[in-house]
Structure 1
Amino acid sequence: MKAAVVYEVGKPVQVVDIKTTALGDNDVLVRMGAAGLCHSDVSVQTGALPWPIPMVLGHEGAGTVEQVGARVTHVVPGDHVAMSAVLNCGRCRYCMNGTPTLCAWGRPYMFESLAPDGPERATDPQGAGLRQMCCVGTIAESVVIPGNAAIKIPKDVPFQVAAVVGCAVTTGLGAVFRRAKVQPGSTVAVVGCGGVGLNVVQGARIAGASKIIAVDPVPSKREFAAKFGATDLVNPSAGDVVEQVLALTDGIGADYVIESVGSTEVVQQAWEMAGVDGTIVVLGVPDPSVSASLSVQGIALSQKILTGAFYGSARPQEDIPKYLEMYRSGVLKIDELITNTYAIEEVNEAIEDMHAGLSAKSVFLLNQDGVS
């Protein structure tokens, strides 16, 4: 079974034959149908996310359950599932308060990319244990994952659609619905219009925002943003980006600014784009060695809110099925989001295309038989 593995930071990803281990009581074996490529995956390869390696990349995925552990009851062999990129226990204070992405039990395992109850669930041809990104490692033909990362989905949903809902869609929509709580008639500036940002755009459209300002230096991404619901397009290369956004909001600033770039400079710009009582949501993950600088007086003399929205502040077991129903009813554009598809052997080409801005959302097609 092939898998995309990072062995060395800054080096090309290797596609190797892996073996999966026997299932633990809480595990699920999934034959993968599709896996998305996310900027976070690339950040592991470049070292911007200093996670342990060697690692099977990928945290967006969907496939067919082949086998379940003794304690798994919510899915059975033959079910189609999407993967959640976060684990949650359902019992800690964060889960009980409705913020399972902050789960005190699950977050350490996710960041270590190691199964909660034992060693690595995959080995390479040399017998070395392999971490699986976010405990799932979806860019592989078959994976063993923790049971609570497997979310049952309707069988008529294409695997590639379910895969991208597992992170890009959930993060973007969650930032709008769960964290920012965008109100009808409001103004939203979306900074960065990649896979996550485009879902922020369409989330703002669904929420009823009257003005949706899409900010991105890549012309094709601005064009995509217009198709997903942006009312105004801003090119940062055409002049001071903050002044451009302020001009579009009559000098007031946006009610909400949601960024998905992962740049401290952009976070500072997002702060300045927001109105005096605006909300700024940071989704992009920059290099951990850098920090942003904000005026403390500017904080004290305003009522701005600066917040993160890890994984869109999602409730995965609830949100992923809900967003898939929105897709099935025609409310969400997901087919249009997927602009490039690849075989697993083309993983490095897919990464190069992402760097070049040639794709909105890239998906690896794995075992696609039997699915429309």
Structure 2
Amino acid sequence: MSEETMLAGRLNVRTKEFSVKRVPVPVPGPGEVRVKVGAAGVCLSDVHLIEGLLTPQYLDGDEVTLGHEVAGTVEALGAGVESPPVGTRVIVQAGKKQGETVLTMGVDYDGGWAEYLVAPAVVMAPIPDDLPFDQAAIIPDAVSTPWGAIEWTGEVVAGESVGVWGVGGLGAHGIQLLRFVGASPLIAIDPIAEARERALEFGADIALDPADPEFAAKLGAATAGKGLDVAFDFAGVDPVRAQAIASLGLAGRLILVGLSGRPITIEDSTMFSYLRKQIRGHYGSEPQHVEQLIALAKNGRLEFSRSISGSIPLAEAADAVARLERKEGNPIRLVLVP
């Protein structure tokens, strides 16, 4: 009897070769379930993995199936699993614990750029029938990362003045979520005119070009001269951080979401201390953030249809990566559909 196979987008992390090829359908072990993938997001982190800018720390072997934003249907149960039952529509949360180590799906173990994936039953988050797979798939990173940064690390409350640098996949959702929690005024900053227009559509009050000679004056006018209560760096670029720090008011806090790997320079450390400014690092999200977002979507408080910039067949995953790398069409999120 021949082994059942499926399509999967595989990366050799040693040679940096990416291809969609046929591999065996995974079998769920004890405590695991197999999910028939409905949709999987294409994230800049996936591009960085292919380029070698990110390197898996705990991968067993040289190859991994990419994809850490996944939604689908539970299709088979491993030994000892009773819930979620077969047929349950789920988001697959993007991490699992191995001892005290947290492994990342699509990085340290096989992810969702495939027809099927296997993951622990405990990381399955059921979703309502009316939440489409493409919208559900992007929640575990593209939406939950900015939500975690806003709700948990940033501790943003209604009425605080907030600036968002970078209105790409994360920043666009950051704008939507900040509008939801009542940030005011909500100021978007991006050098790309189309991104600034999108920020206004997603709920920003003002959208500024960081290179505008009148930038500081316009931000000052928008905040009544007080500066920002909170600044979010979704870009991970040195000039952004310098401009954001300078834009903070008394006890203002900068939340670093974009990753650069570079040192942070505070040009005027005395004034930084005098005004009690803060810098806080943020990475990913916690399980409760995904569950909160599912509940908010279920109850009609949030809606993500505008976030899907294109649905691409899994077989054309390499083209999706190239489109994102080139920022073709300035996408928020592309999704792969098996």
TM range (shorter): 0.7 to 0.9
Q: Quick one: which amino acid aligns to residue 220 of structure 1?
A: E
Name structure 1 gaps, 5 residues minimum: 90-103, 114-131, 367-372
The CA deviation string for residues 98-138 of structure 1, in whole angstroms up to 9 with x for no partner, is xxxxxx8242x33xx5xxxxxxxxxxxxxxxxxx4254511
User: For residues 147 and 214 of structure 1, do their structure 2 counterparts lie closer, same or farther at Cα, with a shift above 3 Å needed?
Assistant: same
Cα drift, residue 244 of structure 1: 5.1
Q: Residue 95 of structure 2 aligns with which residue?
A: 86
Q: Write the deviation string for residues 14-59 of structure 1: whole angstroms up to 9, x where unpaired.
A: 1111214432212211110000111111111112212254221110
Q: Normalised by the size of structure 2, how large is the TM-score?
A: 0.88
Other-structure match for 2:192: 218
Q: Which amino acid aligns with 2:54?
A: L
Q: SS of the counterpart of 2:126?
A: strand
- 2:50 corresponds to 1:48: no
Verify the 8 A CA contact 1:242 1:269 in the aligned structure 2.
no
Partner secondary structure for residue 125 of structure 2: strand
Residue 292 of structure 1 is matched in structure 2 by 264
Task: Show the counterpart of 1:123.
Answer: none
1:181-227 per-residue CA deviation (whole Å, 9 max, x = no partner) reads: 21211111011111211111111111111211111122222222111
Q: Give the one of 319, 341, 361 matched to 2:333.
A: 361
Supply the RMSD in Å over aligned alpha carbons: 2.4
Structure 2 gap ranges (5+): 1-5
Counterpart selection for 1:227 from 192, 198, 201: 201
**Is 1:105 paired with 2:78?**
no
Q: Equivalents in 1 of 2:216, 2:315: separation in Å?
A: 41
Q: 1:205-260 CA deviation, whole Å, 9 max, x = no partner?
A: 11111211111122222222111100110122434756653453344321111111
Q: TM-score, normalised by structure 1?
A: 0.80
Q: In the alignment, which residue of structure 1 is the partner of 2:311?
A: 341
Q: Residue in 2 aligned with 1:27?
A: 32
Which residue of the partner structure matches residue 369 of structure 1? none
Structure with the bigger percentage of helix? 1
1:7 aligns with 2:12: yes
**Alpha-carbon distance in 2 for matches of 1:10, 1:214:** 39
Partner of 1:149: 123
Of the three residues 228, 239, 246, the one matched with 1:254 is 228
Q: Which of residues 298, 320, 323 in structure 2 aligns to 1:350? A: 320
Structure-1 separation of matches of 2:311 and 2:14: 25
Aligned-pair CA distance for 1:162: 0.9
Matched, 1:309 2:282: yes
1:203 counterpart residue number: 177
Question: As a proportion of its length, which structure holds more strand?
Answer: 2
Counterpart Cα distance in 1 of 2:109 and 2:125: 14
CA–CA distance in 2 between the matches of 1:23 and 1:348? 27
1:216 maps to a residue whose letter is D
**Letter of the aligned partner of 1:71 in structure 2?**
G
The CA deviation at 1:67 is 1.3
Letter of the structure 1 residue corresponding to residue 278 of structure 2 = I
